[in-house]
Amino acid sequence: MKASDGFLWGGATASFQFEGGYKEGGKGLSTHDFETDGSQENPRGVTYVTTDGQRGRARSSFFNAGSLPEGSIPVIEEDEYYPSHQAVDFYHHMKEDVKLMADMNYNVFRFSISWPRIFPTGLEETPNEEGLKFYEDLINELAKYNIEPLITICHDEMPVELALKYGGWSSRKTIDAYLRYCKVLFERFGDKCRWWLTFNEINAVRGFVSCGTHSSADQVHYPAAHNMFVASAKAVAMGHEMMPGSQFGAMYALSEIYPATCHPEDMWRHMNARRESFYFIDIMARGYYPSYARRLLDDRHVDFVPPKEDEEVLRNGTLDFISFSYYRSCTVGRNSTFNVIGGDPNPYLKNTDWGWPIDPLGLRYCLNEIYDRYQKPLFIVENGMGAVDKLEEDGTIQDDYRIEFLRDHLREVIKAIQIDKIPVLGYTMWGNIDLVSLSTGEMTKRYGNIYVDMDDKGNGSLKRIPKKSYYWMRDVIASNGESLFEEGTNE
Ligand code: BGP
């Protein structure tokens, strides 16, 4: 068994976790440039100054840097470390990194464009040429090796001025700023890129850092999400017109969810927990609000009613494919605390060092579930294992645990394609070159097949070193996945 012909194999990154060069080439400040480092025990956060001069700190939870008081301004402090500023310096390692990917047989690379690199404040009429040039050089470099770009237009960030002036996605003015940005990207890169994602993990992001809203409360979040739906639909319609043949998706955090037991109340809770994510895909893939939307909003005391005039916009900008991240499965029961991920422990699964259950079959389940529901091609654009890697004295990294994780998950992907007949377009492993963790801001949590010599505070040579899994993955891709099923690969 192997993947289908033309299957896309590659890696995935996000600008603020990977690029660095945070003030270079005319780039403006991103909301993420204000987020400190952290760890599992000590959450990262944003320091702010309130309108009456008080200093405070908003702590980050997994997908958002909490709530900042209305009117407060985030600040960068001398004595804090901000991982996005240097990240792992892809900005200055671009050619070397692309070559490493090419040698691994990649035919796709997912990256996000940093919005403030193109429009430093988001408010300009004309884009920053130096920023565009950086991505143009990257796309040309990829083309040399026949690697297709898969571009995330907005990966959980925005120019900070849009957050401060408009309240980010809570304002419809941000829709106009986003469309101005999209138009520039489509004009410049449209003939070189067919795969586009309008937003990353749109069902999970909220709050200042990700969405530019000072508050992350439901009453602010759901109307802001509606503005993102409108922005996405308009971008899709514009993209289709400007770039015939272009393919649009948006990206969802879709770690599978299981009911804790067959108790009817656990089943009911499970269905509703899954709908928290389906809500977003239903609207963007089908083009209208689902029947359960009113109750979902009422349950959260959100009195928002989607404006009538947006109905046609949503209908005319539906997605071509559905892409998602899958890291784990979650278990929810009637009393569980759950927020897109989390929930109760699953006694049948082992966890990663960061407590994420390892569940390869859950990925096949998810592919079947999503295809049954939408009948649109699927793209796995994030998957992988965050682990502590050890650089051995002989300079190697023996990440057999990662090989095992990838082998088990990729086998399920291929079974979904060949046995379940699910059209899966491709697979881009998260953080193929080690990068800064989103949730904790650490370097210690590594996903890559390529090691980067850098610690949690940004010290190190930044040297790139292929891990054992690099060579293994290179051979898997060369065989289009067939080697995953060779005898002896279970040992
Ligand atoms: C997803 C994000 C990524 C990423 C990944 C892994 O939610 O889209 O940006 O970082 O999760 O999470 P973490 O880095 O916290 O391990």
- E-strand spans in 296-384? 322-325, 329-332, 338-339, 341-342, 378-382
What is the pLDDT, as a whole number, of residue 145? Answer: 98
Q: Which residues contact 15 (CB under 8 A, 6 or more apart)?
A: 30, 111, 112, 113, 114, 117, 155, 157
Asked if residue 253 has its Cβ within 6 Å of ligand 1, the reply is yes
Of 155, 439, 445, the one to substitute when testing ligand 1's pocket (max ligand atoms within 8 A of C-beta) is 439
d(CA 61, CA 58): 10
d(CA 406, CA 399): 11
Mean pLDDT, the chain, rounded, equals 96
**Which of the following is catalytic: 35, 201, 256, 412?**
201
Instruction: For the chain, report the end-to-end CA distance as a whole number of angstroms.
Output: 19
What does the pLDDT average to over 389-406? 98
d(CA 259, CA 142): 43
pLDDT greater at residue 378 or residue 341: 378
Using only C-alpha atoms, what is the Rg of the chain? 21
* pLDDT-based confidence at residue 341 (cuts at 50, 70, 90): confident
Q: Whose CA is nearest to atom 11 of ligand 1?
A: 438
Cα torsion 69, 75, 81, 87: sign: positive
What is the pLDDT, as a whole number, of residue 488? Answer: 65
What is the pLDDT, as a whole number, of residue 143? Answer: 98
- Residue 445 Cα to ligand 1 midpoint, Å, equals 10
- E-strand spans in 299-416? 322-325, 329-332, 338-339, 341-342, 378-382
* pLDDT-based confidence at residue 491 (cuts at 50, 70, 90): very low
Asked whether residue 26 carries a pLDDT value surpassing 90, the answer given is yes
What is the pLDDT, as a whole number, of residue 41? Answer: 84
Asked if residue 445 has its Cβ within 6 Å of ligand 1, the reply is yes
Asked if residue 197 has its Cβ within 6 Å of ligand 1, the reply is no
Angle at 384 between CA 383 and CA 387, to 5 degrees: 155
Work out the number of other CB atoms within 10 angstroms of the CB of residue 139: 19
Asked whether residue 440 carries a pLDDT value surpassing 60, the answer given is yes
What does the pLDDT average to over 331-358? 90
d(CA 263, CA 269): 10
What is the pLDDT, as a whole number, of residue 490? Answer: 55
Catalytic: 382?
yes
Dihedral-angle region of residue 460 (phi above 0 means left; psi in -120 to 50 means alpha; beta otherwise): left
Task: For 249, list phi and psi in degrees, rounded to 5.
Answer: -135, 175
* pLDDT-based confidence at residue 63 (cuts at 50, 70, 90): low
What does the pLDDT average to over 359-368? 98
Q: Whose CA is nearest to atom 12 of ligand 1?
A: 438
Q: What is the pLDDT of residues 140-198, one digit of tens each?
A: 999 999 999 999 999 999 999 999 999 999 999 999 999 999 999 999 999 999 999 99
Q: What is the pLDDT of residues 65-101, one digit of tens each?
A: 678 999 999 999 999 999 999 999 999 999 999 999 9
Ligand 1 atom closest to residue 384's alpha carbon, by position in its atom list = 6
Ligand 1 atom closest to residue 201's alpha carbon, by position in its atom list = 8
Asked whether residue 37 carries a pLDDT value surpassing 60, the answer given is yes
- Residue 278 Cα to ligand 1 midpoint, Å, equals 20
Longest dimension (CA), the chain: 68
Work out the number of other CB atoms within 10 angstroms of the CB of residue 429: 26
In contact, 25 and 134? CB cutoff 8 Å: yes
What is the pLDDT, as a whole number, of residue 231? Answer: 98
Asked whether residue 44 carries a pLDDT value surpassing 70, the answer given is yes
Q: Whose CA is nearest to atom 15 of ligand 1?
A: 439
* pLDDT-based confidence at residue 489 (cuts at 50, 70, 90): low
Catalytic: 78?
no
pLDDT greater at residue 454 or residue 39: 454
- Residue 329 Cα to ligand 1 midpoint, Å, equals 15
What is the pLDDT, as a whole number, of residue 67? Answer: 86
Asked whether residue 115 carries a pLDDT value surpassing 50, the answer given is yes
What is the pLDDT, as a whole number, of residue 65? Answer: 65
Asked whether residue 35 carries a pLDDT value surpassing 80, the answer given is yes
What does the pLDDT average to over 268-291? 97
- Residue 387 Cα to ligand 1 midpoint, Å, equals 13
Asked if residue 443 has its Cβ within 6 Å of ligand 1, the reply is no
DSSP state of 223: H
Give residue 4's identity as a one-letter amino acid code: S
135 HSE (CA, 13 A, CB side): 30
**Which of the following is catalytic: 141, 161, 256, 382?**
382
- Which residues are bridge partners to 428 per DSSP? 10
pLDDT greater at residue 367 or residue 341: 367
The string of DSSP codes covering 269-298 is: HHHHHHHHHHHHHIIIIISS--TTHHHHHH
Using CB atoms within 10 Å of the CB of residue 290, give its burial: 0 to 12 exposed, 13 to 18 middle, 19+ buried. middle
Q: Percentage of residues in the chain with pLDDT exceeding 70? A: 98
Q: Whose CA is nearest to atom 14 of ligand 1?
A: 437
- Residue 382 Cα to ligand 1 midpoint, Å, equals 8
Q: Percentage of residues in the chain with pLDDT exceeding 90? A: 94
> Tokens 């997994």 correspond to what residue?
62
* pTM of this structure: 0.97
What does the pLDDT average to over 331-351? 89
Q: Whose CA is nearest to atom 3 of ligand 1?
A: 438
> Tokens 């709050």 correspond to what residue?
207
What is the pLDDT, as a whole number, of residue 290? Answer: 98
List the structure tokens of 185.
Answer: 């990207």
Ligand 1 atom closest to residue 439's alpha carbon, by position in its atom list = 15
DSSP state of 120: S
